[in-house]
């Protein structure tokens, strides 16, 4: 049997890196307006996770907001699970919140695994606590009364998602990438295989050949359908090697993240290393990238920063408008001191997933691991963000924000805002003059906690200015502005 054809990075390295850089540069250019061009909002929600809308700040700055710790959602202490259960994937699916993870256990006395790795499944109606259904699919310890959904190759980091692609056949409504091995030119190397399922429980490999071969893959490697751009996108682990600084000195090889796109989930193109502007080179293990469901043109991610000397891990936040170039924040989202058992070896990962639970419109739930290598089973704890509340324009006292030129759509200006003092908004022309009826004095004052407050002026709503090019000036007073929509 012939070896599968290597993917692009197995070809000439210099040519590939040149191609990847070109893809990265082109994607960044496509994500930003050209010089002097106005940003068309067309009813789209924009989060202040970066400076995309910002022309000038005075007395204000972008501020990262960490999530708040809640209760433990699941403990993986069944005989087929254990204290090295890991790589959790969580997503909303109708009335269910589904969770997939690796079941494994490490015996400290023998320094060995006590059983093979399994892919396990749990579910929840409320997202607060998860149950483990007895599926009857695979045997462990002489019984099939367990929640195992996959055994053998691929169980180390099996990462499913529900595919909303309108063209997706029902038999492949759920898809996953998982690590395996293959042979290329007679040599064994790691790879990613594609899997599919009709019900999210019974899985099959989509084809014998791998779909990606350039990477490390010994971590959570995820994919999803990008409805905004009509394509699948994957993110996986990679080693960033052989780079030099401006003086030609060799830089440290680091664990990194690579991405690619696909139309059919099998052929992956546009492979590119993620770029982070002037952020420092750091080891990044899992990536947890996803489109943000309230603003699907934005990608957010919770990559795990790895400290090689201590083997401790901590999740951070990043966002992107093209899927390749990310703004990555230096401060950890969840410190190793958060509630308990997070300061050990690889004990503080974010899971892949963000859900808005029933009856909780003001918060978003994420999940993070603890107690790795500890006791009988690792745990997953729920944490909550404010809705849209990853980053804000923060003014501790009096401050202002002036936007770049914008073209509003045919709806009122809505803001996600916490204003402890009074906030007002002004619509200006490109020369900085307030438009009649839309000055600061014409604006109804905003004070309080709002997810979607409609800004009102004496001149009416911003919908009256639809199609015109304007700048918005926010006068903030002890306030956090998270998002706007117009």
| Number of domains composing the chain | 2
> What's the rounded Cα separation, in Å, for the pair 283 and 285?
7
pLDDT of amino acid 1: 36
Candidates 99, 15, 63, 486; CA nearest to 295 is 486
Using alpha carbons, list the distances in angstroms from residue 67 to 256, 356, 364, 390.
24, 14, 9, 8
> What's the rounded Cα separation, in Å, for the pair 237 and 258?
6
CATH number of the domain within which 55 lies: 2.60.120
pLDDT digits (tens, 9 = 90+) for 431-467: 999 999 999 999 999 999 999 999 999 999 999 999 9
Same domain, 217 and 294: yes
Which residues on neighbouring strands pair with residue 262, listed in sequence order? 232, 268
Same domain, 47 and 189: no
pLDDT of amino acid 248: 84
Please identify which residue in the block is written with the tokens 């947890």.
Answer: 288
Same domain, 399 and 438: yes
pLDDT digits (tens, 9 = 90+) for 230-244: 999 999 999 998 888
Q: Quick check: is 4 in a domain? A: no
Q: Quick check: is 19 in a domain? A: no
| Secondary structure element (H or E) that encloses residue 150, with its range | strand 148-151
Position 154 pLDDT exceeds 50: yes
- Cβ atoms 89, 99 nearer than 8 A: yes
Q: List Cβ neighbours of 210 (8 Å cut-off, separation of 6 or more).
A: 4, 180, 182, 191, 192, 193
Which residues on neighbouring strands pair with residue 45, listed in sequence order? 485
Same domain, 133 and 246: yes
Q: Quick check: is 16 in a domain? A: no
Same domain, 60 and 78: no
Same domain, 199 and 288: yes
Helix, strand or coil for residue 380? strand
- Mean pLDDT across the chain, nearest whole number? 92
> What's the rounded Cα separation, in Å, for the pair 81 and 87?
13
Q: In what order do the strands lie in the sheet with 295-301?
A: 290-292, 295-301, 318-320, 326-328
Give the end of a domain, one of 336, 355, 386. Answer: 386
CATH number of the domain within which 230 lies: 2.115.10.20
> What's the rounded Cα separation, in Å, for the pair 204 and 197?
7
- Burial (CB < 10 A; 0-12, 13-18, 19+), residue 337, is exposed
Range of the domain at 358: 69-386
Confidence of residue 2 (pLDDT cuts 50, 70, 90): very low
pLDDT digits (tens, 9 = 90+) for 249-303: 888 899 999 999 999 999 999 999 999 999 999 999 999 999 999 999 999 999 9
Same domain, 205 and 339: yes
Residue with the larger pLDDT of the pair 276 and 26:
276
Candidates 154, 75, 73; CA nearest to 372 is 75
Give the end of a domain, one of 386, 406, 426. Answer: 386
Confidence of residue 36 (pLDDT cuts 50, 70, 90): low
Q: Quick check: is 397 in a domain? A: yes
| Arithmetic mean of pLDDT, 3-15 | 35
Exposure string (b/e) for 426-456, b if CB count within 10 Å is 16 or more? bbbeeeeebbeebbeebbeebeeebbbbbbb
| Arithmetic mean of pLDDT, 153-162 | 97
Same domain, 203 and 323: yes
- Cβ atoms 349, 369 nearer than 8 A: yes
Same domain, 144 and 291: yes
Q: Quick check: is 54 in a domain? A: yes
């Amino acid at each position: 049997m012939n070896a599968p054809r290597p993917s692009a990075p197995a070809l000439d390295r210099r040519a590939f890196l040149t191609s990847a850089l070109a893809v990265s540069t082109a994607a960044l250019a496509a994500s930003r307006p050209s010089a002097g061009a106005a940003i068309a909002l067309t009813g789209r929600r924009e989060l202040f996770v970066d400076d995309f809308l910002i022309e000038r700040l005075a007395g204000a700055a972008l501020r990262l907001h960490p999530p708040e710790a809640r209760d433990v959602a699941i403990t993986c202490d069944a005989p087929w699970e254990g204290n090295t259960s890991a790589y959790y994937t969580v997503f909303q699916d109708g009335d269910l919140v589904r969770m997939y993870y690796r079941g494994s256990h490490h015996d400290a006395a023998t320094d060995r695994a006590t059983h093979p790795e399994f892919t396990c499944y749990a579910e929840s109606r409320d997202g607060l606590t998860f149950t483990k259904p007895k599926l009857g699919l695979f045997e462990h310890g002489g019984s099939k009364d367990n929640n195992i959904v996959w055994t053998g190759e691929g169980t180390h980091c099996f990462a499913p998602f529900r595919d909303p692609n309108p063209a997706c056949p029902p038999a492949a409504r759920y898809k996953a990438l998982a690590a395996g091995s293959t042979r290329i030119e007679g040599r064994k190397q790691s790879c990613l295989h594609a899997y599919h399922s009709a019900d999210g429980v019974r899985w099959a490999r989509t084809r014998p050949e791998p779909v990606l071969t350039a990477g490390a893959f010994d971590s959570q490697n995820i994919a999803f359908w990008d409805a905004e751009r009509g394509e699948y996108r994957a993110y996986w682990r990679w080693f960033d090697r052989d780079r030099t600084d401006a003086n030609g000195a060799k830089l440290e090889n680091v664990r990194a993240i690579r991405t690619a796109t696909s139309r059919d989930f099998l052929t992956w193109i546009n492979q590119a290393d993620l770029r982070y502007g002037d952020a420092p080179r750091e080891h990044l293990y899992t990536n947890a990238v996803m489109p943000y469901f309230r603003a699907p043109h934005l990608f957010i991610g919770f990559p795990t920063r790895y400290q090689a000397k201590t083997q401790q891990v901590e999740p951070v936040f990043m966002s992107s408008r093209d899927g390749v170039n990310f703004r990555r924040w230096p401060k950890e989202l969840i410190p190793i001191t958060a509630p308990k058992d997070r300061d050990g070896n690889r004990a503080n990962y974010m899971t892949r997933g963000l859900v808005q639970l029933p009856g909780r419109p003001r918060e978003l739930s994420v999940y993070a691991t603890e107690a790795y290598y500890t006791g009988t089973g690792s745990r997953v704890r729920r944490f909550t963000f404010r809705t849209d509340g990853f980053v804000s324009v923060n003014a501790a006292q009096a401050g202002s924000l002036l936007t770049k030129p914008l073209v509003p759509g045919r709806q009122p200006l809505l803001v996600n805002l916490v204003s402890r003092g009074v906030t007002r908004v002004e619509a200006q022309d490109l020369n900085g003059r307030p438009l009649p009826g839309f000055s600061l004095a014409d604006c109804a004052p905003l004070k309080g906690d709002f997810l979607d407050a409609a800004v009102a002026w004496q001149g009416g709503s911003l919908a009256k200015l639809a199609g015109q090019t304007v700048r918005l000036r926010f006068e903030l007073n002890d306030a956090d502005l998270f998002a706007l929509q117009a």
